[in-house]
Amino acid sequence: MTSLPPPFLDPAKDASPFDTAREASAVLADPYLFRIRDLVYRASGIFQPDNKFYILENRCAKRLEALGITSLFEYFRLLTTSSRRESEIRLLLNEITVGETSFFRNQPQLDAFRKTVIPQLVEAKGRLGNRRLTIWSAGCATGEEPYSLAMMLAEESQTTLRGWSWNIFAVDLNDQRLEQAREGVYGEYALRSVTPYYMQKYFRPRNGQHQVCDEIRSMVTFERLNILDDSRMVFLKGQDAIFCCNVLIYFGGEPKRRVIQHFHNNVNLGGYLFLGHSESLFGINNDFRLLHFPGCVAYRKISRKPSPTSVI
């Protein structure tokens, strides 16, 4: 069985009254569940620590029920020897990669991007005669993040970005979430941080919910992509900014380092990387410069050896 890194979540932050019982249940779990955990880790970089082991067990139970099989031994065989193994691991990952997001979820980060990063990119690229921005939303879930970025860029099209074009490339592992993202239809909970101005300008009523308008949807390209896929990642160079928020917290150490190296290889010199609130590159990668903005941080690719911290 493949050796895995130790759990990477902070026990002090992740503890709950049920963790001891959950860890005990992991010890007593079917041995084939551990092998399935290894398969998921190798396929996606996602590691289920012992205090979250029950999540993997529940997700596998859903797949067993859907397939009409009764044992994890049978399921493990299907995942490793069946002609359907690739499609089944994809379906299992659909079950595992279920997260919550919303529009304008990290407003300080978006403010930093709009007020500081966009003007800097426009100045630097404009000097070279390049009037196009390329932005990558990695782990886009149901699309709220890339659509939020698209709306901000649309707002800037009359001022800072007048005469510019842009493209937002949004990727995720979960087929079901990508389908919803392309449709662009959302309920009130996902829209809870959207201002009345944005609601009126960029959304249209649809069957009791709200759909992102065609103009904004056309700015985003959605695609299924495993960000650990080395063969695919080499074709994504030329990014001006990469957003990968609340994704790396699910990755083990080695996959996390690989992903960050891919980001460094693909972002332009002077380009930016944004991570989630609880994520950082500390102890993982020293090739980006850490920047402090009001209420958030970001990372920038520079040519010289970066200093530990730069303050905006």
Question: Based on the domain organization, do 171 and 280 belong to the same domain?
Answer: yes
The pLDDT score that the predictor gives to residue 250 is 85
User: Which CATH number fits the domain that encloses residue 248?
Assistant: 3.40.50.150
pTM, full prediction: 0.81
The pLDDT score that the predictor gives to residue 49 is 83
Choose the final residue of a domain: 96, 117, 145: 96
Choose the final residue of a domain: 42, 64, 96: 96
pLDDT tens digits for 185-196?
999 999 999 999
- Give the whole-number percent of the chain exceeding pLDDT 90: 74
**N-terminal to C-terminal alpha carbon distance within the chain:** 47
Residue 5 lies inside a defined structural domain of this protein: no
For residue 101, what are the contacts with CB-CB under 8 A and spacing of at least 6?
Answer: 141, 142, 144, 145, 190, 246
Q: What are the DSSP E strand ranges found in 80-212?
A: 132-138, 165-172, 185-186, 203-206, 209-212
Provide mean pLDDT across the span 36-61. 88
pLDDT tens digits for 76-106?
999 999 999 999 999 999 888 877 789 999 9
Helix (H/G/I), strand (E/B), else coil: 300? strand
Question: Based on the domain organization, do 280 and 254 belong to the same domain?
Answer: yes
Question: Based on the domain organization, do 177 and 214 belong to the same domain?
Answer: yes
Between 279 and 53, the higher pLDDT residue: 279
Number of domains the chain is built from: 2
Question: Based on the domain organization, do 189 and 269 belong to the same domain?
Answer: yes
Question: Based on the domain organization, do 180 and 286 belong to the same domain?
Answer: yes
The pLDDT score that the predictor gives to residue 30 is 84
User: Which CATH number fits the domain that encloses residue 15?
Assistant: 1.10.155.10
Question: Based on the domain organization, do 54 and 15 belong to the same domain?
Answer: yes
Helix (H/G/I), strand (E/B), else coil: 166? strand
pLDDT tens digits for 249-261?
888 889 999 999 9
Provide mean pLDDT across the span 187-211. 97
Structural domain boundaries, residue 48 = 11-96
Contact in structure between 117 and 241 (CB atoms under 8 Å): yes
What is the CA angle 269-119-242, rounded to 5?
45
For residue 219, what are the contacts with CB-CB under 8 A and spacing of at least 6?
Answer: 150, 153, 154, 166, 167, 168
Question: Based on the domain organization, do 87 and 210 belong to the same domain?
Answer: no
For residue 109, what are the contacts with CB-CB under 8 A and spacing of at least 6?
Answer: 245, 274, 293, 295, 296, 298
Q: Which of 55, 126, 44, 140 is nearest to 93 (CA)?
A: 44
Residue 101 lies inside a defined structural domain of this protein: no
pLDDT band for 61, please (50, 70, 90 cuts). very high
The pLDDT score that the predictor gives to residue 274 is 98
Residue 26 lies inside a defined structural domain of this protein: yes
Provide mean pLDDT across the span 288-294. 96
The pLDDT score that the predictor gives to residue 51 is 81
Question: Based on the domain organization, do 185 and 292 belong to the same domain?
Answer: yes
Question: Based on the domain organization, do 92 and 157 belong to the same domain?
Answer: no
Judged against a pLDDT cut of 70, whether residue 11 lies above it is answered with no
Q: Is 28 left (phi over 0), alpha (psi -120 to 50) or beta?
A: alpha
**32-46, 169-183, 226-240: which has the minimum mean pLDDT?**
32-46
Pull the structure tokens for residue 164.
């510019």
pLDDT band for 206, please (50, 70, 90 cuts). very high
pLDDT band for 267, please (50, 70, 90 cuts). very high
Strands 220-224 and 165-172: parallel
**83-97, 193-207, 233-247, 295-309: which has the minimum mean pLDDT?**
295-309
Residue 204 lies inside a defined structural domain of this protein: yes
pLDDT band for 43, please (50, 70, 90 cuts). confident
Choose the final residue of a domain: 69, 96, 123: 96
Measured distance CA(173)–CA(269) in Å, rounded: 27
Question: Based on the domain organization, do 148 and 17 belong to the same domain?
Answer: no
